Amino acid sequence: MESRNWIGGEWLYPSGEEMVAHDPSALQEEVGVVRFSTKDDVTQAGEAARLAQRGWGALTPAARGDCLFRAAGLLEASLAEVAELASREMGKPITEMRGEVMRGVHLLRYYAAEGVRAIGNVIPSNESGVLQYTKRVPLGVTAVITPWNFPVAIPLWKIAPALLCGNTVIWKPAEHASLTAVRIAELFESAQLPTGVLNLVIGQGHVIGDALLAHKELDAVSFTGSTATGMGIAQQCARRNLKYQTEMGGKNAAVVLKDADVAQAVAMIVSGAFRSAGQKCTATSRVIVERSVYEMFTEALCQAVNNIQVAPALDPGTYLGPVASAGQYEKVASYVAMARRDADILAEGGAAPGTDHGYYVRPLVVTGLDSSHPLIREEIFGPVIGVLPADDFEDAIRLCNATVYGLSASLFTRDLRLAHRFLDEAEAGMVRVNQETAGVEYQAAFGGLKWSSSHTREQGQAALEFYSALKTCAIRYD
């Protein structure tokens, strides 16, 4: 497969650098060739998006929703094929990847149906004979910049509400999710999305990012990725007073209290930490355990982790696959080396046959570090967790909040009073009790506090607020 841009309804080969995409589960396998864009391609995409916006914005939301319904049906019909391509491109285990594609189908249907929801408020006027109300209007041309770790769901949770609200989109997917992005754009083409409404620009962030953010036709930016990149993008948008949202990194804690259901907590913490090889912004990466159950809990956790084996992503039984790319492998391997040097290793999973030629990292559980250590402080984005003992609930909350990030946090307890205190006091945008830190549903608001987010929200109704501007209207009728 070869990547192409989709700009103004045309499939075009950009003239920038090329990258051969290799399967992270089996590096000898080529998945395709990715051709990167130049700044000229970005210029062209912005112009196409501007040209299309007036017509698209003038359609009824229900008509725009019809396109999303058609795209949902096509994506569902292609579920197996899209999931396999994405698994081969970035290494997510196939069973998990199929679930992600289905989430994309649900997202498209959810936002399609929003086309006929009543929106706005009538506001009583202090003058008689005046009707005063709010309405929502499109922002215009929106740049959507996405990461590789959810190659289907994250793009769709931005593109679907952006389109439904009447915006046109320039989509720049991550380098290591480019081939999957082409397939998704093809499905939008088959869904008869009008020319220029969605424009796909395959490219390297450091090469075309500035041109995209400086594009004169741009009205808004929605970004998901690392905190370092996101903060730079926020600065660029603020200089131009563009509306923006940045969803960024996490260092999510799961807190286990002495009355927790240990079997439930272990299963959810293992899932939260090791599915997607720990490469979720909401992945559990710190486990804080009340001291009185520390021994019992860590024994059960270690037993579970020791039983996990890394295995190729396309094997339907695989729980933990490879990490996504050479860059990811080097970064995570450096943290594993740090753990071997500075930490006590509590548990380490194994490797199944066939994992000699891929970016496999065995799951690792470490302890003996305090909150200032890089392994406890920094986002690793790999299958490594640090366990910290806590004296009591107050100490656990203190440790949970001892991070610059604030994306997701979980508590395991049967004590309703402490559960409510945790939901109030944990400094995270998504707070959960007896649930894993990952897995927030598509109809619920998604986003973080502190350095994890620019404090807007994605998914659910919140996304519609981001992708539209509120107008206050007043009309004298007598």
Q: Which residues bind ligand NAD (CB under 6 A)?
A: 145-150, 154, 172, 174-175, 205-206, 209, 224-226, 229, 232-233, 247-250, 281, 379, 381, 407, 448, 452
Q: If you compute the radius of gyration of the chain from its CA atoms, what whole number of angstroms results?
A: 23
- Which of 165, 237, 281, 400 is flagged as catalytic? 281
Minimal distance, residue 281 CB to ligand NAD, in Å: 3
Nearer to ligand NAD among residue 65 and residue 151 (C-beta)? 151
- Which amino acid is residue 300, in one-letter code? A
Cβ atoms 217, 46 nearer than 8 A: yes
Minimal distance, residue 205 CB to ligand NAD, in Å: 2
Nearer to ligand NAD among residue 61 and residue 209 (C-beta)? 209
Residue 56 is encoded by which pair of tokens? 């698209």
Nearer to ligand NAD among residue 130 and residue 228 (C-beta)? 228
What is the SS3 string spanning 315-361?
CCCCCECCCCCHHHHHHHHHHHHHHHHHCEEEEECEECCCCCCCCCC
Minimal CA–CA distance to 220: which of 168, 142, 138? 142
Minimal distance, residue 299 CB to ligand NAD, in Å: 30
CA distance 234 to 401: 24
Minimal distance, residue 206 CB to ligand NAD, in Å: 5
Whether 400 sits among the annotated catalytic residues: the reply is no
Nearer to ligand NAD among residue 17 and residue 344 (C-beta)? 17
Nearer to ligand NAD among residue 297 and residue 451 (C-beta)? 451
- Which of 217, 247, 348, 436 is flagged as catalytic? 247
Helix, strand, coil share of the chain (percent; to 5) = 40, 25, 35
**Using CA atoms in the order 87, 91, 93, 98, what is the torsion angle rounded to 10 degrees?**
-30
Which residues are CB-contacts of 165 (< 8 A; sequence separation ≥ 6)?
A: 61, 136, 138, 139, 464, 467, 468
Cβ atoms 280, 422 nearer than 8 A: no
Whether 247 sits among the annotated catalytic residues: the reply is yes
CA-based end-to-end distance of the chain: 64
Nearer to ligand NAD among residue 250 and residue 460 (C-beta)? 250
What does the angle CA 209 – CA 111 – CA 230 come to, to the nearest 5 degrees?
25
Find where tokens 């899932």 sit.
271
Cβ atoms 388, 372 nearer than 8 A: no
DSSP β-ladder status, 344-348 and 364-367: antiparallel
What does the angle CA 211 – CA 205 – CA 179 come to, to the nearest 5 degrees?
115
Nearer to ligand NAD among residue 96 and residue 379 (C-beta)? 379
Minimal distance, residue 422 CB to ligand NAD, in Å: 21
Minimal distance, residue 457 CB to ligand NAD, in Å: 10
Residues 357-385: b if buried by 16+ CB within 10 A, e if exposed = ebbbbbbbbbbebebebebbbbbbbbbbb
The residues carrying an active-site annotation are 247, 281
